């Protein structure tokens, strides 16, 4: 039975708890570290002129991402249900309105839409595993590597099969519940990190390292538009997995005695570290090979294989890298699916397996739009461009920041001080800083940037 008294001490999640604080941190890090860090961060930094974008992104991660993440975890743990039910319950307990459930629902829908394209890109990653094993990158030059990629994405059947396979993997793992997530994450994250360091060594020794570093860290504000600032903010939310109920859903399984602040700091540092690290791997290689940093979503797929092709043991390393990247994508995808699955299990009489199957099929269907964006529907453009570009823009740059605003407003204004300080352990400096950022800085900054970018200010 779920208890509904006002203190959450006895409230239990239906889906079980993480076995330890480390397991939670690993799982949230697993959800945070994914294609956002290794695929999206470098290509977006490249498209938006480098240094200034990176600086703004880092500021957003710490000043907006951190307080929003803490808010999301604390709401999740207090409610201990799926995001929709948690927001309905806490909305009623704390603010007198059940309508807060719509905020939970917005998150669930955003996560599903994001997963629809995320799965397609994860499919690209999966496809690169057999390419790596069969040595297709060995000795290839930039043109050959680019052709390899373009041939693949222009083939709808290949892209859709990979997307289907990835969604199936997702369904398989998520239908087994929370415990399945833990095991996967504990081994994969450290392995991925290790491999990034191997690549970093390579880019240090054979890339144009100083050119790459200066591109990433010399801020040239002239190269950054308000649109770019909005993109940096959307990316900060995206890579941290905040603003869509994913962290809220994971927070619901967090043991009561774990410190939310410590957990949030560890996750934010790990996630940002990996994004910066992958930039440090990729940009020196981009410049050493005369590639264009503003290439777009193809950037990573046209850079890294080139490097593997020139390395000793490149076949082996490339294989491991794409396997790990696919796993990193999988652990993130699970986080994107969990809110919807948890919602369905709790609100219908379908079991976890059936709910996972229904949700996975829906997401798969939406994903077809992105899968066809580079081939059959590449000419079909409106608003921001292709279907992929629209889904990405609307989810990351509009839906995520908007939910982030409401999440901080809920946690810092609507919830009583008693409740939030009980979850965040006390009234010390950390609590004060959180309150300041969550009450004023984060919501105001997000709104100002948003209104600037759409031209209302
Ligand atoms: N943070 C993930 C990434 O960077 C994407 C994600 C968003 C995962 C939201 C789960 C929830 O790839």
* Domains of the chain by start residue, with CATH: 16-453 (1.10.4160)
pLDDT band at 156 (very low <50, low <70, confident <90, very high): very high
Mean pLDDT for the stretch of residues 333-352: 90
Question: Which atom, in ligand 1's list, is nearest to the CA of 332?
Answer: 8
Distance 238 CA to ligand 1 centre (A): 6
Ligand 1 centroid–CA 351 distance in Å is 25
pTM: 0.91
**CA distance linking residue 129 with residue 320, whole number of Å:** 8
Among 238, 330, 337, say which to mutate for ligand 1: greatest number of ligand atoms within 8 Å of CB.
Answer: 238
Mean pLDDT, the chain, integer: 90
Residue 331 CA to residue 317 CA, distance in Å, equals 21
Q: Residues with Cβ within 6 A of ligand 1?
A: 31-32, 34-37, 111, 114, 238-239, 241, 244, 246, 332, 335-336
Q: Whose CA is nearest to atom 6 of ligand 1?
A: 241
Q: Which residues pair with residue 382 across a beta bridge?
A: 385
**Are the C-beta atoms of 70 and 46 separated by less than 8 Å?**
no
pLDDT confidence of residue 180:
61
The preferred substitution site among 247, 336, 338, 404 for testing ligand 1, maximizing ligand atoms within 8 Å of CB, is: 336
pLDDT band, very low/low/confident/very high, at 178 (cuts 50, 70, 90) = low
Closest-lying ligand 1 atom to the alpha carbon of residue 35: 12
CA–centroid distance, residue 335 to ligand 1 (Å)? 7
Nearest alpha-carbon partner for 327 in 140, 180, 145, 151? 180
| Ligand 1 atom with the shortest distance to the CA of 32 | 1
Residue 71 to residues 65, 245, 271, 331: CA-CA distances in angstroms? 10, 11, 18, 22
Q: Is the pLDDT of residue 394 over 50?
A: yes
pLDDT at 351 over 80: yes
Q: Ligand 1 centroid to 246 CA: how many Å?
A: 9
- Give the model confidence (pLDDT) of 71-82 as tens digits: 999 999 999 998
Task: Measure 9 CA to ligand 1 centroid, in angstroms.
Answer: 29
Distance 366 CA to ligand 1 centre (A): 18
The mean per-residue pLDDT over the stretch 218-246 comes to: 92
**How high is the pLDDT of residue 29?**
85
Band of residue 14 on the pLDDT scale cut at 50, 70, 90: low
166 to 119, 121, 122, 334: CA distances (angstroms): 6, 10, 7, 11
**331 C-alpha vs ligand 1 centroid, how far in Å?**
9
Q: At what angle do helices 156-174 and 352-371 cross, to 10 degrees?
A: 160
Mean pLDDT value across residues 425-438:
88
Q: What is the pLDDT of residue 359?
A: 97
* Closest to 303 measured CA to CA, from 207, 205, 159: 207
Q: Tens of pLDDT along 97-139?
A: 999 999 999 999 999 999 999 999 999 999 999 999 999 999 9
Quick check: 184 pLDDT over 50? yes
pLDDT for position 59: 97
CA-proximal residue: ligand 1, atom 7 (nearest): 241
Give 6 Cα–ligand 1 centroid separation in angstroms. Answer: 32
Which of 42, 170, 241 for mutating ligand 1's site (highest number of atoms within 8 Å of CB)?
Answer: 241
Residue 15's pLDDT band (boundaries 50, 70, 90)?
low
pLDDT of 87 above 60: yes
Kindly indicate the confidence band of residue 433, based on its pLDDT and cuts at 50, 70 and 90.
very high
- Tokens linked to 264: 């949030």
Residue 16 pLDDT class (50, 70, 90 cuts) = low
Q: How far is the CA of 33 from the centre of ligand 1 (A)?
A: 7
Among 159, 207, 194, 162, which Cα is nearest to 304's? 207
Give dist(CA 335, CA 341) in Å, integer: 10
Return the pLDDT at 182. 66
């Amino acid at each position: 039975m779920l208890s509904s008294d006002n203190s959450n001490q006895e409230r239990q999640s239906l889906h079980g708890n993480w076995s330890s604080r480390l397991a939670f941190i690993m799982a949230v890090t697993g959800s945070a570290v994914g294609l956002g860090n290794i695929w999206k961060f470098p290509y977006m930094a490249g498209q938006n002129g480098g240094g200034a974008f990176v600086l703004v992104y880092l500021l957003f991660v710490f000043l907006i991402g951190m307080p929003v993440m803490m808010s999301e975890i604390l709401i999740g743990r207090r409610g201990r249900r799926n995001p929709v039910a948690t927001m309905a319950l806490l909305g009623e307990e704390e603010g007198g309105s059940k309508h807060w459930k719509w905020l939970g629902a917005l998150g669930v829908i955003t996560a599903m839409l994001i997963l629809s394209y995320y799965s397609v890109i994860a499919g690209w990653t999966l496809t690169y595993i057999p390419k790596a094993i069969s040595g297709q990158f060995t000795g290839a030059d930039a043109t050959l590597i680019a052709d390899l990629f373009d041939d693949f994405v222009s083939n709808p059947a290949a892209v859709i099969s990979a997307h289907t396979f990835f969604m199936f993997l997702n369904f398989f793992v998520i239908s087994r519940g929370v415990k399945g997530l833990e095991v996967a994450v504990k081994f994969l994250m450290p392995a991925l990190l290790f491999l990034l360091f191997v690549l970093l060594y390579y880019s240090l020794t054979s890339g144009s390292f100083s050119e790459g570093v200066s591109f990433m860290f010399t801020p040239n504000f002239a190269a950054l538009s308000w649109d770019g600032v909005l993109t940096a903010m959307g990316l900060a939310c995206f890579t941290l997995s905040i603003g869509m109920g994913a962290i809220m859903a994971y927070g619901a399984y967090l043991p009561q005695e774990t410190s939310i602040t410590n957990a949030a700091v560890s996750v934010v540092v790990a996630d940002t570290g990996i994004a910066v690290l992958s930039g440090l791997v990729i940009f020196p290689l981009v410049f050493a090979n005369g590639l264009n940093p503003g290439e777009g979503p193809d950037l990573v797929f046209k850079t890294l294989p080139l490097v593997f092709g020139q390395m000793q043991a490149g076949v082996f390393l490339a294989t491991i890298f794409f396997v790990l990247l696919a796993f990193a994508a999988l652990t993130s995808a699970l986080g994107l699916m969990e809110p919807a699955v948890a919602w369905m299990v709790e609100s219908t009489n379908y079991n976890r397996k059936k709910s996972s199957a229904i949700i996975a099929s829906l997401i798969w269907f939406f994903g077809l739009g992105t899968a066809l964006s580079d081939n059959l529907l590449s000419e079909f453009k409106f608003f921001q461009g292709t279907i992929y570009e629209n889904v990405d823009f609307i989810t990351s740059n509009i839906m995520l920041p908007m939910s982030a605003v409401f999440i901080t407003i809920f946690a810092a204004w609507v919830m009583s001080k008693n409740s939030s300080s009980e979850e965040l352990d006390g009234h010390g400096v950390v609590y004060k800083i959180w309150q300041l950022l969550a009450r004023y800085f984060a919501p105001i900054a997000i709104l100002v940037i948003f209104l600037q970018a759409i031209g209302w200010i």
